[in-house]
Structure 1
């Protein structure tokens, strides 16, 4: 029985993520965006634009608009992902048809911010469950193989076209507010996926590296990697250098300040720089499994 529980636990978790994401997206659409003729980016934005121009039910438009991208996902990613995405999109369509969401506000600023926030929460939760509510990234992957553009550039280009069409047909103010909606949704998606535990890589170069290594491991409980390097090479004394240990470690962004303070106490002249790490696993990291 325990083995069965463990086997089905990830499936149940993914299902909860998907249902929660669908409900949040439905709330964003029916409670904020659709009644006030606002837009988002990607296939959802295309669906909202078609809905406004041709007055077709938004639930039907979203499902139909995503179908070509779901088919492409079966070839570009895999069939399992495509089927999960199809189920999620159909679930959103059903949600939009049957759930009686109230219209929350007609204030444009509130719509653009909170409509984006709830949309971002919904899409982010679905992504954590291994689903997708928007096929725009599949199109970007397809185009990437046939052009020199990056995925971000392709998605940006598609969204620019969407917002330009919206500006022509529905007015520039609505299009600009919709850009804010899209930006808010994008940032919220990143937060939902990465959370407060987004990792930061920290590189430390110091003459007191031995003391710093000891305090990182014993006081902060961090794993470290040490590169052998040389320090010095100043303009006035270019030919003078010393061997040193270059210390690299990974912390959450909430721990960056504590780490900087620790290093500063040991060596105020230490050279410290950070970079964001999107995914990290293994080693001594303790983190919940990401879906």
Structure 2
């Protein structure tokens, strides 16, 4: 168990590095030098660059370290440990890619830059957030304010991002501003998709007079757990039971066919569900 714990933690840290590398590449390849505005600590770095010849990577590092120190006092060591890698990895990768123009200056098309910046930043952030860690920097102040005031975290993050975007507008063209807004929206959408990637399953509620046979089939054929729901039918007012079961999308076809064979008149409600936890989905084998 201890080896498994440390092994999983090592994998997490490697994935955090990958996420930060992808995010940094998106900034260097498609944002910096193309006059497209962006949110977060990278956006602040772009603002500073308009006043002083300071590389974005340096500004990001300074803000990340300052936020890390503040977070240590308000959020505790456990949160900071998960953020520590991103605090230094992100500005490091920005500095590295900035020295490799052959890998960053891939296109001068502003729309392509906007799309690929949004996709790469969304994927990078999504990997880090999916693991339950923070990228540091401007993620930390909203978390502290949320803890002290109770204001919704999403609202605070949006306020800071909007303020950062507004701060870049005087130094950007109207088209750069519009492309930047598209980039921020696309990044948010990609993060949402990354958070749910691979976690989608199917929930079925099956109403049938042959619920005992169907339940036996689910247990024996699919090796899935299920729950009986006490229901009252609307037309006949019969008190009976429905079956609620969650299966993978791959198992859905065989389950649907098996239910139809047992009761062709079964009434089945199917819906997508996400982040299913527990036996058969997230618990390791020793808990089964």
TM range (shorter): 0.7 to 0.9
TM-score normalised according to structure 2 size: 0.78
Q: Is 1:60 the equivalent of 2:58?
A: yes
State whether residues 209 and 244 of structure 1, in contact with CA within 8 Å, keep that contact through their aligned partners in structure 2.
no
Question: How many residues were matched structurally?
Answer: 279
2:240 to 229, 241, 244: 244
Shift of 1:58: 0.4
SS of equivalent to 1:39: coil
Shift of 1:60: 0.9
Q: In structure 2, what is the Cα distance between the partners aligned to 1:181 and 1:131? A: 23
Q: In angstroms, what is the RMSD of aligned CA positions?
A: 3.4
Partner residue, 1:23: 21
Q: Is 1:276 the equivalent of 2:278?
A: no
Partner residue, 1:202: 203
Of the structure 1 ranges 77-86 and 57-66, higher mean CA displacement relative to structure 2 is found in 77-86
State whether residues 232 and 240 of structure 2, in contact with CA within 8 Å, keep that contact through their aligned partners in structure 1.
yes
Shift of 1:73: 3.2
TM-score normalised according to structure 1 size: 0.77
Q: 1:228 to 1:164 in 2, by over 3 A?
A: same
SS of equivalent to 1:35: coil
Q: What do the CA deviations read for 1:58-83 (whole angstroms, capped 9, x no partner)?
A: 00111222334323433454313314
Shift of 1:260: 6.3
Of the structure 1 ranges 147-156 and 21-30, higher mean CA displacement relative to structure 2 is found in 147-156
Partner residue, 2:109: 107
Of the structure 1 ranges 103-112 and 156-165, higher mean CA displacement relative to structure 2 is found in 156-165
Matching of residues 1-291 of structure 1 within 5 Å: 6=4, 8-52=6-50, 54-99=52-97, 100=100, 101-128=103-130, 131-147=133-149, 149-195=151-197, 197-200=198-201, 202-204=203-205, 206-208=207-209, 210=211, 211-232=213-234, 240-252=236-248, 266=263, 270=267, 272=269, 274=271, 276-277=273-274, 279-285=275-281
Q: In structure 2, what is the Cα distance between the partners aligned to 1:209 and 1:113? A: 52
Q: In structure 2, what is the Cα distance between the partners aligned to 1:72 and 1:201? A: 43
Q: In structure 1, what is the Cα distance between the partners aligned to 2:249 and 2:159? A: 31
Q: In structure 2, what is the Cα distance between the partners aligned to 1:230 and 1:288? A: 37
Shift of 1:57: 0.9
Structure 1 residues without counterparts, runs of 5 or longer: none
Q: In structure 1, what is the Cα distance between the partners aligned to 2:257 and 2:137? A: 44
